[in-house]
Amino acid sequence: MGEFELIHHYFAAAACARGGEGVALGIGDDCALLQLPAGEQLAVSTDTLVVGVHFPHAADPYLLGQRALAVSASDLAAMGATPIGFTLALTLPDAQPEWLQAFARGLDKMAAQCALSLIGGDTTRGPLSLTLTVFGRVPSGQALLRSGAQAGDLLCVGGNLGNAAGALALVLEQQQAEPAVSQPLLEHYWSPQPQLALGQALRGKASAALDISDGLLADCGHIAKASGVSLLIEQQRLPLSTALLQLSGEAGALRCALSGGDDYVLAFTMAEQHLPALREAGHSVHVIGRVVSGQGVQLLDKHGAQVALPAQGYQHFGSTGD
């Protein structure tokens, strides 16, 4: 079976089923063609997942397919973009039909959930890795950047923090837990929910936004640096799940929330006046701190006293973070 047939065969569902708004030409030619409504910009993001680095060799291909696309779609959420499509560059040591079928099913499930069409890709032989490039659209000038946070804004997150870091110990089988604890954490790890609706709702409201992939402290550092401000995080306001507290205890859960990566929950800054409308619309918004003049990130205990920062999130090729 040739390269194109392989892609067509296993990924047909993800390629066709989405309706393809914005996709003028999908898989099968030298390029795909995307069409944007007047007054909109295209948001683009690329992420690579490598076996043994970003997921274990024994990873369930169905879960891997889900997670790979969710991780990339989360970047669209962070810009407030409406999903259009994605390309998949899949490098595989060999073509195992069962593996491909399960991977494609997981990918398709997340594609359907995010309203993303598979528009193209490449299949190559080599050590297992995946590079996904996602495309979305956003009205010109309304994309959520990292650079607009202003002193006086609230610092918010879109959901519980630290679940993925907690789950990682279960994924790597360093820790065990009863199903009531392990299941919700593993589900969060393997099937993170890109906060696309929240991202779109934040257009015109959030002054800065990103999705938490490197860990709360590291990612807040990105906003602080890009915006030229200081972010104060009130430790006791961090939303922690019951499952994580049961697995890791309070101190461990806090460590996961502050420094663990892969949560793919939005962190954003916003004037307080926008809070009621978001909550009325049913969006999950947790205020965890505020923006002040200065630079960097500061962590405060329940008395408002500054706490020493723990080690920051995972960084490739380095240890200092950005």
- Using CB under 8 A as the binding rule, the residues of this chain from 195 to 234 that contact a second copy are 209-211, 226
Cross-sheet strand order for the sheet of 306-307: 206-211, 266-270, 154-157, 286-292, 230-234, 296-300, 306-307
The 10 Å Cβ neighbour count of residue 260 is: 27
Query: Residue 101, interface with a second copy (CB under 8 A)?
Result: no
Using alpha carbons, select from 160, 240, 193, 172 the residue that is nearest to residue 67.
193
Q: What is the DSSP letter of 81?
A: P
Q: How far is the CB of 27 from a second copy (least distance, A)?
A: 11
Query: Residue 51, interface with a second copy (CB under 8 A)?
Result: yes
From the list 41-49, 188-196, 235-243, 273-281, the region that binds a second copy by CB under 8 A is 41-49
Distance CA 261, CA 322 (A): 14
Question: By C-beta, is 117 or 298 nearer to a second copy?
Answer: 117
Q: Is 248 annotated as a binding residue?
A: no
Q: Is 146 annotated as a binding residue?
A: yes
Distance CA 46, CA 131 (A): 7
From the list 130-138, 189-197, 240-248, 275-283, the region that binds a second copy by CB under 8 A is 130-138
SS3 at position 222 = helix
Q: Is 54 annotated as a binding residue?
A: yes
Distance CA 8, CA 220 (A): 41
Q: How far is the CB of 183 from a second copy (least distance, A)?
A: 29
Query: Residue 249, interface with a second copy (CB under 8 A)?
Result: no
Q: How far is the CB of 117 from a second copy (least distance, A)?
A: 12
Task: Kindly write out the interface string for residues 60-99 of this chain, putting x where it contacts a second copy by CB under 8 A and - elsewhere.
Answer: ---------------xx-xx-x-----xxx-xx-xx----
Q: How far is CA 71 from CA 7, 270, 292, in A?
A: 21, 24, 30
Query: Residue 127, interface with a second copy (CB under 8 A)?
Result: yes
Q: How far is the CB of 86 from a second copy (least distance, A)?
A: 10
Q: Is 45 annotated as a binding residue?
A: yes
